[in-house]
Chains A and B, each alone.
Chain A
């Protein structure tokens, strides 16, 4: 029993370290990428994975039922709200022209948004 507890502590500390490293890498990506969409990409995915790893690590170190329920709720709400914010930021970035579209080969949304023109068939 004590051996299992020590193993869970060690695995929890390792997952905490990996999750915090993932968060740090995401922030470094936010600093280095050129425009809003790629920065949002660099922000969202490593943050989500990092938060998941950190919370699993904490759950392995504090092994009580109520704490596990709270951590599961935190993971649930994080996974529920993070795509909403990311989607709204990306939509607003496209509609205010901050997407860096000079590197874009083909833009399927542009003819849908411009009011007077039909896309060529």
Chain B
């Protein structure tokens, strides 16, 4: 009984660590881009990661208080990346560098 509970607590803690690590890695992609569309995709993934993190918290506490937050994120989390893809990235054409590669910055 207690061993089982300890195993479950360890699994939930490992899940929280994985979500935090994934968020830290995602910050690299948001910071360095290189293009605006990469940041849009990363924004979409960030909403999914927040949903996963709040779920882990809810499973640890046994509490469903934050479920409406997850619902709103699943409902509206795609609007940011849609807005970027539709209205900003069209103006964001890549310039060609001196060595022929395209610079998406």
Chain B 24-40 against A: per-residue CB contact (8 Å), 1 yes, 0 no?
01101100000101101
Within 8 A of A (CB), among B54-98: 55-56, 58-59, 62-64, 67-68, 70-71, 74-75, 77-78, 81-82, 85-86, 89-90, 92-94
Report whether A50 and B48 are in contact in the complex, using a CB–CB cutoff of 8 Å. yes
Smallest CB separation, A107 vs chain B (Å): 17
A-side interface residues, number (CB < 8 Å): 57
Within 8 A of B (CB), among A13-41: 13-14, 16-17, 19-21, 23-24, 26-28, 30-31, 36, 39-40
B-side interface residues, number (CB < 8 Å): 54
Cα-based distance from A43 to B71 in the complex (angstroms): 20
Report whether B37 and A36 are in contact in the complex, using a CB–CB cutoff of 8 Å. yes
> Which residues of B sit under 8 angstroms from A61, Cβ to Cβ?
59, 62
A30-B49 in contact given A20-B56, A62-B62 (Cβ < 8 Å) = no
> Which residues of A sit under 8 angstroms from B67, Cβ to Cβ?
67, 70-71, 74
Q: Which of B15, B41, B82 contacts A40 (CB 8 A)?
A: B41
Report whether A54 and B55 are in contact in the complex, using a CB–CB cutoff of 8 Å. yes
> Which residues of B sit under 8 angstroms from A55, Cβ to Cβ?
51, 55
Smallest CB separation, A26 vs chain B (Å): 7
Chain A 80-92 against B: per-residue CB contact (8 Å), 1 yes, 0 no?
0110111011011
Q: Which of B25, B77, B93 contacts A96 (CB 8 A)?
A: B93
The interface of chain B, by Cβ under 8 A from chain A, is 4, 7-8, 11-12, 14-16, 18-19, 21-22, 25-26, 28-29, 35, 37-38, 40-42, 44-45, 48-49, 51-52, 55-56, 58-59, 62-64, 67-68, 70-71, 74-75, 77-78, 81-82, 85-86, 89-90, 92-94, 102, 104
